[in-house]
Amino acid sequence: MSQPKEKPRDSFFQDDQVQSEMGFTSFIRHIFPYMWIHKPQLLSLIVIVVFYAIAGRLLPILFGHAIDEGIKKNVLTVVTHVALGYLVLEIIRSALYFGQSYGIQKLGNRILFEIREKLISHVQALPLVYFDKNPVGRTVTRVTNDVAALGEMFSMGFTAIFVNGVEMIAILVAMSLISVRLTLVTLAIAPALTWISLRLSRRIREVVREAKKKLATINAFTAESLNGMKVLQLFDKTRERQQEFNRHSEEYKSLSLKSVKLFATLWPILEFFNTTTITTALFFGGLYYQDFGLTIGSLSAFLLLVQSFFHPLRVILERYTQFQNSLASADRVFSLLKECPEPLEGEALPPHRLRGEIELQHLGHRYAPANPLALNDVNLKIKAGESLALVGRTGSGKTTLISLLQRLYSPTSGAILVDGQALDKVSPREWRKRVGVVLQDNFIFRGTIASNISLDNPVITRERIEWAAREAGCDRLIGSRELGLDSKVEERGNNLSVGERQLIAFARVLAFDPDILILDEATANIDSLSEQLIQQATERVIQGRTSIIIAHRLSTILGCDRIAVLDKGRLIEVGSHAELIEQQGKYFALYQSQFRESGGETSVDANTPVPPSIG
Amino acid sequence: MSSLPPGNLTSSSPPADEKLLRHPFLYYFRKDWKLFAAGMVALFLTNSFDAIPPYLIGMAINQIADQAGWRSLGETILLMIAASACLAVCRYWWRIFWGRFHHGVAEDLRNRIFDKFLDLGPSYYQKKPVGELMSLMTNDVNSFRMAIGPGMLILADAIFILMIVPPLMISLSASWTWKTLILMPIIPPLIARVLKLILDNYRKQQNKFAEMSGAAQEIVSGVRIIKSYAQELNQTRLFNSFSRNFEFACNDVARVDAYFTPVMEFGVATGSVILLLIGAPEVMAGTVTVGAFFSFYQYIQRMIWPMTAIGIAFTHIQQGRASFSRILDLLKTSNDVPDEGAAQMNHFDSLEVRGLTFTYPQGEQPILKDLSFAIRAGETIGIVGPIGSGKSTLVDLLCRLYPVPSETIYYNDTPVEQIKKNSLRRLVSLVPQDAFLFSKKIQENIALSRKEWTMDQVKNMCELVNIDDEISDIPDTYDAYLGERGVNLSGGQKQRLTIARALMADSPIVIFDDSLSAVDASTEKNILASLRNRYLADRRKVTVILVSHRIATLKWADRIMVLNDGRLEAFASHEELVNSNATYRQLVELQNEHRSHA
């Protein structure tokens, strides 16, 4: 039903990037525990990063050394040694680079795997209320894309900043080792320029985010147009749609150009920074190098170091921009992990088979505080082994009642007792193992028919699957397919009919052998042969189990021991078919309007014998 | 006679430019040649100015070594600052010019693709999944942009640097130049090779990601069943196997990626070592200055980028070409339902189908077999038949969504292919089987077919289909947005809105393709009653075609078509069919037996 969510915004294709609440430190705090699990790898990576940075700084120093000790003093052997050392150092540095780059990403991928594992089990532990509020796509995106974005942030952002930061420190240290005073003079304007660049980077970040949003809009707009192409063409709306698209496209271009412009401004600023530092170093170094205790060689090394200062700074600024943009992803991932899971602890059920006596006491439920009562003060005793048909119009509370019985929701008021034990104290997982469910439209997983019967549960043997399929009347369904039980089933069971999906669900119930059965009969058009098979399967599964059935077909209703009539959330009539017909109440009216008006042939009166086959 | 609403202009995409299709790069270079040329000039100047500082630094080092005094050193430094300022200006402008150029290309290409999308008919969409087409718009456009923008740019950049830096190096020392650069040509193919590996692995990674997403999608969609059967741990294990495959694929990418930088720096490292070995003796001998030695060292470092750039550029361009060939396939596809007719239909008298046999363009078996019938204006027609009997195909053909065999469908004795498309659209309103609504306001969705409309008309139509009350319950009522971030409607509500949308078009023919399947029986009854009493009462000549499974709905029609395996089995009134047609009678009996209770 219509459930207005948040206030709609101007454009409907906005990316659901919430303004990130998460800052840099908060991100570190969240991600750190995941990293700390891998302490040995983490620490050895840090060591590699540090050595890599040092190795890179040794190169210009070696070059300076060659000038001073070799060239200036005319000692060729020193130059040869330096050249060899240079070669060896480069090889070591390449190896360190490889180790660092691969190691960090590998560690990152492992951490992401662990986060995904945690997320998927967390998601499955969330109460159904969560899934009512959040579309499937959004949740899936959290587990997949957002974690991937988090990973990119980890390897491209966080570690790049760390690696380049270490490199900058190494450069500073190397420069200071050559001359502290010259370093101070050279980098005097660095803080001011860094500040300006940071400001600019922040502006870039905003524009890039805008552009990304616009791109998401374009993509959503295109996807929607493709999905609704038939409607657009039927209503001759293509021209308007094209104009709208061109507008989005144009806006995206101008946003992209804005970011191009900002980047085009940022780089010259950094370049200017580069030139200033080099010229300062040249000028002061050149004039006073002897006062600073420098030689031509060490001055050359210094100049090379100053020039390399530019690169890591650029990377840090660049990555910082991306990093900030992906914080939103991290925020979404961690806030999903903070969603409260449904409590799964509770009393155990007796290990033996439940008798299946169910008592509803003043049961009431509403889905949200603002909603009306979906179920209102329902009192009912269902005897062990009894089959009960739930009858009522759409919205009368039948589905709510079975959802409460499955403990998919906690009732707002009242209680459910099973064999005298209060259900809300029992562990929901324990309880659900004892309840089998066949729904109107049964969710079918991608895989095979067999995997859908066993739900990939290794405990259920192949023999059991075969038996269950046979018992549920899947013979025709399986026989008509080349691979039989191992036939592929497409996403959402697209290559199966509603009836076939229901038969598989029956087989599933039989394979799991629950103590209690809940069945929501299909209303959709099912061909008559499937209809018959389903009828037989129903008879088979309700045998010897307490069964609660939302019944749509007269034959099913007649086959149940008792009928409970719901109306606007209240239980208004309970009794056998004959009793209720005699009462001439709501059931009688329903029966009259739904079964008698159209046909004539099927007019059954109170004396119609109950088919002996069921119940 | 029903009057028709004023029509919109037909959308027609400009014919795909022959030049674009043959030489996409040249086409865009020529199209925006001013930007392209300006960008090239600015880039060349940038590279020239960029080559000056190492030379000047070398000079400065000589001046320092010779104790030339602060004046000449100052001059050199001022020159450096001047060069750097020019560099900054040029660098700014080439980024601007190039940015405009390739983002302009992307925009043009996006619009062309979207235009084509709008032009192509359902038979194209039947064979192409939406995801594949989306990737044209997202990945392929971007990859072509990357080729013609950054790809071409860095190629030009590399060429310019190769034009500028080696001559400068030669001016310092010709023999050093060839000795130090001798290994450089190995780098571009190596880089290209590494990049290819990266891309191959990346593609594998994408596939694994898609599989993993699929697994997550299954779990989240099926969470109710998983919970019901307490299968959480099992499903997590299943997901983990996909997740682990993805992790391994990511590691493969990371490993190859880690080769990239060492390969890139290989040439420079060896060049530097060679320089130390061969250059130092000459400096000691005094034939070359320390400053020149230093400059040369720096120029070698400058050679890293062009060598890498050539490798990168070729990869980008290669990918761009592959992407463009995919885009080309789309742009070359022509609509199989061309809008070549000129006839305008201002009213509707009769519809006639003569000997219609139809096979889908990519199908083998005919779906409709030798169908012939005639309908007069003002009739209400029912269509019934088992799944796959051709009901939807027939109504789609009546709207000419697929290529109709010539001279088989006639409106007012004019073959449908001779009718101008937008005129046909105004003649027939179809409510398709799947209720599709746009992420727009409710009122905009309903008024989709109209240019001018009033709120009263919209409300009227909604009352007619029994949804006005439900819309009024939504906080923003008719202003509420639909879609994922808006109001979520039930299947039945959506269907009713699509009916209101079709009625709003005020067409002389309205076709309902099983459009009430998700609405419960009593609501359906109400809708049909108000349709008859309120809508059709004012529009006596409006023709209604109802595709349905429900006998209660079909009974409402003047005549009912029974389709079976693509053939017209019978076409008569309900009573006649009950008496004469076995298929129909069976259906009646079946539905009476299993009469829905809820």
What is the rounded distance in angstroms from the CA atom of residue B416 to the CA atom of residue B407?
8
Q: Is residue B70 part of a domain?
A: yes
Distance from the B412 Cα atom to the nearest Cα atom in chain A, whole angstroms: 20
Task: Decide if pLDDT at A23 tops 80.
Answer: no
Chain A residues near residue B110 by CB distance under 8 angstroms:
218, 245, 249
By mean pLDDT, which of A29-33, A427-431, B2-6, B279-283 is the weakest?
B2-6
Distance from the B162 Cα atom to the nearest Cα atom in chain A, whole angstroms: 21
Q: Is residue B160 part of a domain?
A: yes
Decide: pTM greater than 0.90.
no
Contact between chains at A264 and B96 (C-beta distance less than 8 A): yes
Q: Is residue B199 part of a domain?
A: no
Helix axes B232-285 and B290-302, enclosed angle (nearest 10): 150
**pLDDT band per the 50, 70, 90 thresholds, residue B6:** very low
In this structure, the answer to whether residues B84 and B138 fall within a common structural domain is: yes
Task: Decide if pLDDT at A37 tops 80.
Answer: yes
What is the rounded distance in angstroms from the CA atom of residue B397 to the CA atom of residue B417?
11
In this structure, the answer to whether residues B94 and B145 fall within a common structural domain is: yes
B499-525 confidence digits (pLDDT tens): 888 888 788 888 888 777 766 666 777
Judge whether A608 is closer than 8 Å to chain B, CB to CB: no
Chain B residues near residue A230 by CB distance under 8 angstroms:
122, 125, 401, 432, 436
Point out the domain boundary residue: B332, B366, B400.
B332
In this structure, the answer to whether residues B322 and B358 fall within a common structural domain is: no
Point out the domain boundary residue: B268, B302, B332.
B332
**Residue A247 class from Cβ within 10 Å (0-12 exposed, 13-18 middle, 19+ buried)?**
exposed
Nearest Cα residue in chain A from B481: A8
Chain B residues near residue A595 by CB distance under 8 angstroms:
595, 597
In this structure, the answer to whether residues B320 and B404 fall within a common structural domain is: no
The more confident residue out of A262 and A197 is A262
What is the rounded distance in angstroms from the CA atom of residue A350 to the CA atom of residue A357?
14
Q: What is the pLDDT of residue B371?
A: 83
Both tokens of B405, joined, read: 């065999």
With residues binned 3-state (H G I as helix, E B as strand, rest as coil), the percentages for chain B, rounded to 5, are: 65, 10, 25
What is the rounded distance in angstroms from the CA atom of residue B42 to the CA atom of residue B50?
12
Task: Decide if pLDDT at B13 tops 60.
Answer: no
What is the rounded distance in angstroms from the CA atom of residue A280 to the CA atom of residue B77?
9
Give which of B49, B91, B228, B396 to mutate to test A binding, by max A Cβ within 10 Å: B228
Q: What is the mean pLDDT of residues A294-301?
A: 84
Q: Is residue B573 part of a domain?
A: yes
Q: What is the pLDDT of residue B597?
A: 38
The domain that holds B316 is classified in CATH as: 1.20.1560.10
**pLDDT band per the 50, 70, 90 thresholds, residue B11:** very low
Residue whose structure tokens are 């300022």:
B85
B74-133 confidence digits (pLDDT tens): 888 889 888 888 888 898 998 899 889 988 888 888 888 888 888 887 778 777 777 778
Both tokens of A590, joined, read: 């329903």
> Closest to A139 (Cβ–Cβ): which among B117, B220, B549?
B220
Chain B residues near residue A458 by CB distance under 8 angstroms:
234
Distance from the A166 Cα atom to the nearest Cα atom in chain B, whole angstroms: 18
DSSP letter at B481 equals: B
**pLDDT band per the 50, 70, 90 thresholds, residue A103:** very high
**pLDDT band per the 50, 70, 90 thresholds, residue A613:** very low
In this structure, the answer to whether residues B43 and B166 fall within a common structural domain is: yes
- Domain, as residue range, for B587: 350-433+506-593
Q: What is the pLDDT of residue A596?
A: 47
CA distances from B590 to A539, A614, B387, B596 (A): 21, 21, 16, 11
A158-179 confidence digits (pLDDT tens): 788 888 999 999 999 998 888 8
> Closest to B63 (Cβ–Cβ): which among A106, A286, A600?
A286
By mean pLDDT, which of A107-111, A460-464, B434-438 is the weakest?
B434-438
CA nearest neighbour of B72 among A412, A301, A282, A48: A282
Q: What is the pLDDT of residue B16?
A: 53
> Closest to A144 (Cβ–Cβ): which among B133, B212, B250?
B212
Phi-psi sector, A65: left (phi>0), alpha (psi -120 to 50), beta:
alpha
Q: What is the mean pLDDT of residues A274-292?
A: 81
DSSP letter at B186 equals: G
Task: Decide if pLDDT at B258 tops 70.
Answer: yes
Q: What is the pLDDT of residue A397?
A: 82
Task: Decide if pLDDT at B586 tops 80.
Answer: no
Q: Is residue B246 part of a domain?
A: no
Q: What is the pLDDT of residue A259?
A: 86
Q: What is the mean pLDDT of residues B27-51?
A: 88
Percentage of residues in chain A having pLDDT higher than 70: 89
In this structure, the answer to whether residues B319 and B355 fall within a common structural domain is: no
In this structure, the answer to whether residues B310 and B386 fall within a common structural domain is: no
What is the rounded distance in angstroms from the CA atom of residue A557 to the CA atom of residue A344?
35
Point out the domain boundary residue: B332, B362, B385.
B332
CA distances from B38 to B29, B32, B154, B164 (A): 12, 10, 16, 19
- Are B271 and A111 in contact, with CB atoms under 8 Å apart? no
Length of chain B: 598
Distance from the A198 Cα atom to the nearest Cα atom in chain B, whole angstroms: 18
Collapsed DSSP state (helix, strand, coil) of residue A456: coil
Chain A residues near residue B138 by CB distance under 8 angstroms:
219
Chain A, window 138-157: residues with a beta carbon less than 8 angstroms from a chain B beta carbon: 138-140, 143-145, 148, 151, 155
Helix axes B70-119 and B24-31, enclosed angle (nearest 10): 110
Both tokens of A575, joined, read: 């009794």
- Rounded mean pLDDT of chain A? 79
> Closest to B221 (Cβ–Cβ): which among A70, A443, A512?
A443
Collapsed DSSP state (helix, strand, coil) of residue B355: strand
Helix axes A498-512 and A462-471, enclosed angle (nearest 10): 130
The domain that holds B521 is classified in CATH as: 3.40.50.300
Q: What is the mean pLDDT of residues B475-494?
A: 69
Chain B residues near residue A207 by CB distance under 8 angstroms:
none
- Are B57 and B295 in contact, with CB atoms under 8 Å apart? yes
Dihedral, CA atoms, B241, B246, B250, B252, nearest 10 degrees? 70
> Closest to B8 (Cβ–Cβ): which among A72, A239, A443?
A239
In this structure, the answer to whether residues B319 and B371 fall within a common structural domain is: no
Task: Decide if pLDDT at B1 tops 50.
Answer: no
Task: Decide if pLDDT at B370 tops 50.
Answer: yes
The structural domain count of chain B equals: 2
Percentage of residues in chain B having pLDDT higher than 90: 2
Q: Is residue B229 part of a domain?
A: no
Give which of A150, A196, A229, A284 to mutate to test B binding, by max B Cβ within 10 Å: A229
> Closest to A144 (Cβ–Cβ): which among B121, B216, B505?
B216
Contact between chains at A285 and B106 (C-beta distance less than 8 A): no
B144-197 confidence digits (pLDDT tens): 888 888 888 888 888 998 888 888 888 888 888 888 888 778 878 888 888 788
A540-551 confidence digits (pLDDT tens): 777 778 888 887
Contact between chains at A109 and B247 (C-beta distance less than 8 A): yes
In this structure, the answer to whether residues B424 and B381 fall within a common structural domain is: yes
Chain B residues near residue A88 by CB distance under 8 angstroms:
none
In this structure, the answer to whether residues B325 and B362 fall within a common structural domain is: no
Q: Is residue B254 part of a domain?
A: no
- According to DSSP, the β-strands at B380-384 and B559-564 are parallel
In this structure, the answer to whether residues B325 and B370 fall within a common structural domain is: no
In this structure, the answer to whether residues B100 and B30 fall within a common structural domain is: yes
B389-409 confidence digits (pLDDT tens): 788 888 888 888 888 888 888
Angle at B567 (CA atoms; ends B562, B570), nearest 5 degrees: 35
Q: What is the pLDDT of residue A44?
A: 93
φ/ψ of B390, rounded to 5, equals 105, 15
What is the rounded distance in angstroms from the CA atom of residue B281 to the CA atom of residue A78?
11
Q: What is the mean pLDDT of residues A41-45?
A: 92
Q: Which residues have C-beta within 8 Å of that of residue B299, sequence separation ≥ 6? A: B54, B165, B168, B169, B172
Contact between chains at B228 and A435 (C-beta distance less than 8 A): yes
DSSP letter at A375 equals: E
Judge whether A332 is closer than 8 Å to chain B, CB to CB: no
Q: Is residue B589 part of a domain?
A: yes
DSSP letter at B381 equals: E
